[in-house]
């Protein structure tokens, strides 16, 4: 049955951590490991690098999450996909995020995008997200996409998924 699925951007479609690890290494000469940052929110683990989120350009050039293009395309063929991202806090992120989506996910129409300040306002049946602040407030089925900051969370009601391949298996069969 066709369902409405909210798909998060940062940490699900865009690989924010890949950028953060690289930028930290470039700036300090030292490469952090997953263990160094596991369980810390992005702003705790990369305080210097995260200061850039309010600047024009930060969200324009993030790398695409491995497997997300193929996975989202299949999801989009079968379900009603809505891309939803917390973005209004940083006005310059808004244009950057839409241009990034248009470039990297051209099969997603602008009609399927919601850039907002509170995901609770959006109607849907399934949410794919990496952050508890979004997942915990969602009424429907939740998939928690594994990212370093959520690795230590155990026994939540959210089903953990490690990759886009795993999302495909869950939602396409």
Residues with a known catalytic role: 8, 10
Q: Is 89 in the site for a copy of itself (CB under 8 A)?
A: yes
Q: How many CB atoms lie within 10 A of CB 43?
A: 12
Q: Say if CB 150 and CB 131 are below 8 A apart.
A: yes
Q: Is 70 in the site for a copy of itself (CB under 8 A)?
A: no
**66 or 88: CB nearest a copy of itself:** 88
- Look up residue 20 and give its two tokens: 């953060």
Q: Say if CB 12 and CB 65 are below 8 A apart.
A: yes
- Look up residue 153 and give its two tokens: 């969370």
Distance CA 172, CA 168 (A): 5
Q: Is 52 in the site for a copy of itself (CB under 8 A)?
A: no
Residue selected from 27, 61, 66, 88 as contacting a copy of itself according to rule CB under 8 A:
88
Q: Is 113 in the site for a copy of itself (CB under 8 A)?
A: yes
Binding residues (CB under 8 A) for a copy of itself: these are 82, 87-89, 91-92, 94-95, 97-99, 102, 109-118, 120-124
């Amino acid at each position: 049955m066709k369902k409405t699925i909210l798909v998060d951007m940062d940490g699900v479609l865009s690989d924010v951590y890949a950028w953060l690890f690289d930028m930290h290494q470039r700036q300090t000469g030292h490469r952090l490991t997953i263990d160094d940052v596991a369980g810390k929110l992005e702003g705790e683990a990369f305080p210097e690098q995260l200061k850039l989120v309010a600047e024009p350009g930060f969200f324009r050039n993030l790398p695409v999450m491995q497997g997300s293009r193929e996975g989202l395309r299949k999801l989009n063929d079968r379900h009603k996909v809505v891309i939803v991202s917390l973005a209004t806090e940083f006005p310059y992120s808004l244009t950057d995020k839409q241009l990034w989506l248009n470039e990297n996910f051209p099969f997603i129409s602008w009609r399927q995008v919601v850039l907002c300040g509170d995901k609770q306002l959006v109607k849907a049946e399934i949410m794919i997200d990496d952050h508890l602040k979004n997942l915990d407030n969602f009424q429907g089925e939740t998939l928690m996409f594994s990212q370093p900051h959520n690795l230590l969370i155990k026994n939540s009601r959210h089903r953990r998924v490690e990759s886009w391949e795993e999302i495909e298996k869950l939602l396409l069969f």
